Amino acid sequence: MAAAPVDAAPPPAAVQTVVVTAARLPPPAGEAAFSVIQLTPQQLQAQPRLDLSLQQVPGVSLFRRTSSAAENPTTQGVTLRSIAPSGAGRALVTLDGVPQNDPFGGWVIWTSLPAESLEGATVVRGAGAGPYGAGALTGVIALDELSRPGAADVDISGGERGEVRGSGATVQSLGGASTLFLTATGEHSDGWVPTDGAAGPADDALTLNDYSGAARVQTEIGRAAIAIRGGAYHEDRAAGLVGANSSATGETGSLTIAAQPEADLLGWRLQGWIRHSEFSNTSVSVPASRLSTTPANNQYATPATGWGANAAVRGEAGHLTWEAGADVRGAAGEDQELYKYVSGAFAQRRIAGGRTLVAGGYVEATWTQGPWLVTGGGRIDGWWTMDGHRTETVVATGATTFQDNPPDRSGTVPSGRIGVKRELGDGLYVRSAAYTGFRAPTLNELYRPFRVGNNVTEANSALTPERLYGVEGGFGGGDGRLTWEATVFYNRLADAVTNVTIGKGPGTFAQFPGAGFIPAGGILAQRQNAGTINATGVEADAAFRLTPDLRLRAAADYTHARVDGGVVAPQLTGKLPAQAPAFTATGGVDWQAIPRLGLHADLRYESSRFDDDQNTVHLGPGTKVDARADWSVSSSMQLYVEATNLFDAKIPTADTSGVVAYDEPRVVRVGITFRR
């Protein structure tokens, strides 16, 4: 060995690496005992919209088949497992622990959640309230925001029907352990006319204009990561009929302080958040000739504010990991609208709203030893509805025609979950779980009646929380090339909030004086806790890496759901829940054909469903194929061309008086992405 020269320079000083940790606790230790699917950033960006990407998980769907590209915000609530879709949504969506469901209606403004700003998502199906709290009725979609210093993700695209979209996110170091996160997105679409041969002068395109932005500053003090985040969004939509439009605006803010659990130190999180939203919507009635539209309702303002706080402490003791916490969520808002269009002007004004509050605490523990994982916990929540009011007046004179001030109400809801998982060796495992969850009714469901076309749905201030009880068992495995899981479940949804048909027009209904005259072909319904929904199902997914460059994936679920209306709605007994398909299946292929060229295809099939609670309006099945080719210009930049609904399938989304509306036709886009 040669000796080093005597004048050799001294070795360079070690470079200190600063590790920045996101201001959130790791996923609960016992989550592996439940039906959990992790989605990567690549999977979340596989579609032009986040809600479409999440539908890679069968059973994940908005209330109707239409995506957030065209659907009214009031029907963009998300539900898991096809048990009983709802416009308000029966699943909780969080972003780094902060609920994203609207404080007035429970729906989600998906345009404010660009996939480029996310580093992953966890879909927990049917796991009950657990540490998540109210709203996690059929499960949770937990989104994680980008946190890695130096990360950048930009996507710019354009396509048919005037589609233009730009979105980007980045995390930049501010020195030491401080970072700045920025994200912004905007898009425009000329849309499409949803009706087919039945279209007339009354029909219009489903257009969309939206933009959003957010910023987060994070730093560390000792063990604690402190993150302050603020964001805003705005979107304008045309609803497919002349004179029918909507607008949604909102601002969000949160403060999170978290410390990661360490060997001899407790982990903990403190978080507070506030969310303000404003929503306006106009609806119209349409004659059978579809030659014109007549204003039916002008929901000119819906100011609402949601707020909340949560705290959690996590520790370890030998083989035991435990967590205890508490959370509170409040909402206040009111609907302000004009209705009853007569002689060229609205004759009536309605103001309706109130306040809700849900607060609770929980304890959960997980024991792991060898091949065993056992988890369980319970929580207790209180709920309150307060200051409910509905006042209807004559626009011309101010005279009151209807006044309702329902009494304040409250109650308690116990819930819990248990799960067991055992590793069997060779990558195989078996698991089982039982759980309960609940969802308190929204301000929208409690106090605001609404009209869509000729159909009127009345509110119900006497609604109580929905409750879900479930058991399931799963079996799965993985060997590096093949991963798979199959789950069998039974869920019982009690006191389900359902739009129950009261009667059909033409005519008026004395018990609902505020509904007014229901025209021919129209329906009067009311939100009710309509009995129970029993659902038995099976879900399965698999991914197989055929070669290092070729990956196949498939997933499916079948849910047999039936309503038991009991004494409240016996006419619904034996019926399928509205908008609930029995079977969905997805599949995909990802092929790196050559080092620079990637080819991707996705398929989604959904069986038929009914558009109404009486199962009289049938919507046929739908199959959609999406395809994409991307060309790597460099290690961080790609050019791509993609086609949504490649074969231009006509997928029915609604049937109003025999006029069928369809989902998005084929759209071809080209774009460029930059990721590092």
Structure confidence by residue, pLDDT tens digits, 484-536: 999 999 999 999 998 888 888 888 887 787 677 787 778 888 889 988 999 99
Please report which confidence band the pLDDT of residue 10 belongs to, taking 50, 70 and 90 as the band edges.
very low
- The reported pLDDT for the residue numbered 556 is 95
- The reported pLDDT for the residue numbered 4 is 36
Mean pLDDT along residues 650-669: 90
Mean pLDDT along residues 223-236: 97
Indicate whether 13 pLDDT > 50. no
Mean pLDDT along residues 660-668: 94
CA neighbor of 32 nearest in space, from 388, 321, 357, 231? 321
- The reported pLDDT for the residue numbered 18 is 52
Backbone torsion region of residue 139, taken as left when φ is above 0, otherwise alpha when ψ lies between -120 and 50, otherwise beta: left
The three-class DSSP label of residue 145 is strand
Please report which confidence band the pLDDT of residue 218 belongs to, taking 50, 70 and 90 as the band edges.
very high
Q: Which class for 209: exposed (0-12), middle (13-18), buried (19 or more C-beta within 10 A)? A: middle
Pairing mode, strands 523-529 and 455-458 = parallel
- The reported pLDDT for the residue numbered 20 is 67
- The reported pLDDT for the residue numbered 453 is 65
How far is CA 415 from its chain centroid?
22
If one looks up domain 29-251+267-288+305-675 in CATH, what number appears?
A: 2.40.170.20
Which alpha helices (H) appear in 13-164, and where do they start and end?
41-44, 50-54
Indicate whether 431 pLDDT > 60. yes
List b or e across 510-524, with b for residues whose CB sees 16 or more CB atoms inside 10 angstroms: eebebbbebbebbbb
Mean pLDDT along residues 280-288: 89
Q: What is the mean pLDDT of the chain?
A: 91
Mean pLDDT along residues 361-365: 96
Structure confidence by residue, pLDDT tens digits, 186-204: 999 999 999 887 788 999 9
Q: Would you call the peptide bond into 506 cis, given omega within 30 degrees of 0 as the criterion?
A: yes
**Least confident span in 80-89, 97-106, 302-311, 618-627:** 80-89
Mean pLDDT along residues 658-668: 92
Q: How many angstroms separate the CA atoms of 31 and 21, rounded?
A: 21
Structure confidence by residue, pLDDT tens digits, 448-477: 988 776 788 889 999 999 999 999 999 999
Query: Which strand (E) or helix (H) includes residue 53?
Result: helix 50-54
Indicate whether 573 pLDDT > 90. yes
- The reported pLDDT for the residue numbered 19 is 59
Which has the higher per-residue pLDDT, 571 or 153?
153
- For the chain, domain boundaries: 29-251+267-288+305-675
Indicate whether 11 pLDDT > 50. no
Pairing mode, strands 92-95 and 139-145 = parallel
Token digits for 489? 């479940």
- The reported pLDDT for the residue numbered 9 is 40
How far is CA 464 from its chain centroid?
22
- The reported pLDDT for the residue numbered 72 is 87
- The reported pLDDT for the residue numbered 331 is 98
Please report which confidence band the pLDDT of residue 408 belongs to, taking 50, 70 and 90 as the band edges.
very high
